[in-house]
Structure 1
């Protein structure tokens, strides 16, 4: 694994919810780094989200991330904010970085206050793991209902000098833009201005993480944060260099977004819902989200049932502005519906092999406009119900 220069990873078992599980992690940059973040739009923002937004507001450099699973520290009021700050003080002392340069993130059950005694007890092990573990262990420390840890990496060269990017994330349920219920951390060893890094991250998140759905729920704790520490010696200054870095950041986030939907709680399918021909991008997005969030469409995907009528129905109630007779539906490249009527032939037989695949492309053209959108959606399974019925046990 090509880890960006100047970063060290840490992870340990703090027993926040389960014994014997990695649930506390950190990423530390050897030198303060340019930082950017994109956060949940939920009105009930968790204490670490509020803390990060406050810390990033003045554009100062940051030295790393502190992350935990098991407890969300959301809907915990002033005590939750105070506890969040105290965990930063504890970790900063253990890791050797300033507390006001450590960005926190939490995931887990909403409402419970931190047990600070567990945090304090875990600090020596967290500190001793710094630089001794890799991104895999840190990625495992933020898993909740995830079945696999999620990592993406890429690199490129500018004038013979290599720039590396690496991202980790968690996310499997309570997933829907804006944003998906997930934590994501990206590290890069290029040098770039704060404004350009923030703009780049926001743009790339909108094209990736904000275009996935598992169940239509948006969490209190969602965040995507990124550091760029300049340790490669490569400065991003020209338009061509900016475009190149953006391309690779987009690649990281595309990879992580797909892995989230692929690992959806109980999920067995990933639907690539593509909408074109809309009067506006907004109309296209309305259709994509209506189809991707429809329980009937999602359960049909789980059953490998080519019930295209559910897709057309969802487009019809989406609120998008289009004429019904203009809609053209293709599933896996096979023309299924146009001019207000199904295509002739045995669609069940034609679509059976397509519906059996894990990845299924659903394309709706709804008119003659230039608006378009894309959404990744999971199916909805019996296992999803079982996982979320017992989530707190």
Structure 2
């Protein structure tokens, strides 16, 4: 794994979840980095989200991330905000970084206040692990119901040298972002302006992690944050440089987005829902999200049931403006429905092997417009219900 130049990792167990299980991580750049962030639009934003938004509004250069799992520090009022700020003071003293340059993020149960003694007690071990921890352990420390840790990397060369990117994230449930996502962190060693980095991150998030759904729920803690510290000494100066960096950032986020849906709570399938021919992109997205969030479509996916009528039904109530007779449906490349009627033949037999695959492509064309959208969606299994029924147990 090519780790971007100038970044170090730390991870330890603070017993936020179970004793001995990694649940606290830090990622630190040895020089302050250009920072960008995209956050949840949920009205009940968690304390760390509010803290990060304030910090990024005041300054663009940050030294790193402090991330805990097990407690979300959401819906915790002023005490939660104060506790969040105190965690930054604790990590600053432990790792020797300015407290106003560490961006916090939390995930876990909503409503519980931090146990600040556990935070203080964990700092010596976090400091001891600093620089000795690999990105894999940092990714493991931020997991909740995830079954696997999630990492993605990319690199490319310009005349000035090599640029590296590394992304890690967590997410398996409470996932249906809108201008944000689960918890996702990207570090890069390119030299780029703050303005360009923020625009690039927002653009790439909207094309990738913002286009996934597991259960239609947007978290209180969703965030994507990215650092670029310039330690590679490769400057992003020309339009071609910018396009190339954007391509590789997009690749990292695409891989992480797929891994989130693939690891959905109880999930067994990933549906690639492609919509084209809409009057505009907004209408195309309405269709994609109606299909991807439909419990009936999702349970049909879980059962490998070629019940294509559920897809047609969801498109019909999506609110998108199209004529029913214009809709054309293909599943796994097989033409299923057009001109308001099913195609002839034994559709169950044709679709049976397709529905048994892990990845299933559903293409819906609703006319001759220029609007299009894509969404990655998981199925809905019995295990999803079991996991979330026992989430606090």
TM-score (ref. length: structure 2): 0.99
1:180 Cα offset (Å):
6.3
1:108-146 superposed Cα distances (whole Å, 9 cap, x missing partner)? 000000000000000000011011011000000000000
- What is the distance in 2 between the residues matched to 1:325 and 1:180? 35
Partner of 2:315: 315
In structure 2, what is the equivalent of residue 99 of structure 1? 99
1:108 aligns with 2:108: yes
For residue 22 of structure 1, what is the aligned residue in structure 2?
22
Please show how residues 144-183 of structure 1 align to structure 2 within 5 Å.
144-159=144-159, 161-178=161-178, 182-183=182-183
Instruction: Report Cα offsets for 1:172-193 as digits up to 9, x if no partner.
Output: 0000021565100000000100
Question: 1:38 — aligned with what?
Answer: 38
1:83 equivalent to 2:83? Answer: yes
In the TM superposition, structure 1's runs of 4+ consecutive aligned residues that sit over 3 Å from their partners are none
Contact 1:327 1:339 in 2 (8 A): yes
Contact 1:59/1:194 (8 A) holds in 2: no
* Contact in 2 for aligned 1:175/1:215 (Cα 8 Å): yes
Q: What does residue range 1-393 of structure 1 map to in structure 2 within 5 Å? A: 1-159=1-159, 161-178=161-178, 182-393=182-393
What displacement does 1:331 show? 0.1
What displacement does 1:254 show?
0.2
Preserved contact between residue 62 and residue 102 of structure 2 (Cα < 8 Å): yes
CA displacement, residues 47-105 of structure 1 (integer Å, 9 cap, x when unaligned): 00000000000233100000000000000000000000000000011011000000000
**CA-CA distance at 1:19 after TM superposition:** 1.6
After superposition, the CA RMSD in angstroms is: 0.7
Q: Secondary structure at the match of 2:144?
A: coil
Q: Deviations over 1:280-318 (max 9, x none)?
A: 100000000000000000000000000000000000000
Matches of 1:160 and 1:29, distance apart in 2: 21
Conserved 8 A contact 1:8-1:28: yes
Cα contact 2:180–2:205 (8 A) shared by 1:
no
TM-score, L = length of structure 1: 0.99
3-state SS, counterpart of residue 375 of structure 1: strand
Could you list the per-position Cα deviations for residues 10-46 of structure 1 after superposition, in whole angstroms to 9, with x for gaps in the alignment? Answer: 0000001212210000000010000000000000000
Q: Given that residues 165 and 187 in structure 1 are in contact (C-alpha distance below 8 angstroms), is that contact kept between their aligned partners in structure 2?
A: yes
Corresponding residue SS for 1:57: helix
Post-superposition offset of 1:160: 5.6
Conserved in 1, the CA contact under 8 Å of 2:52 and 2:104? yes
CA distance in 1 between counterparts of 2:236 and 2:122 reads: 38
Q: How many residues align?
A: 393
Contact 1:277 1:366 in 2 (8 A): yes
- Structure 1 distance, partners of 2:92, 2:327, is 57
SS state of the match for residue 38, structure 1?
strand
Unaligned 5+ runs, structure 1:
none
1:229: how far off?
Answer: 0.3
Give distance in 1, aligned partners of 2:313 and 2:224. 34
Specify the SS of the correspondent of 1:119: helix
CA–CA separation in structure 2 for the residues paired with 1:313 and 1:114:
45
Seen in structure 2, the aligned counterparts of structure 1 residues 151 and 18 have a Cα distance that, compared at 3 Å, is same
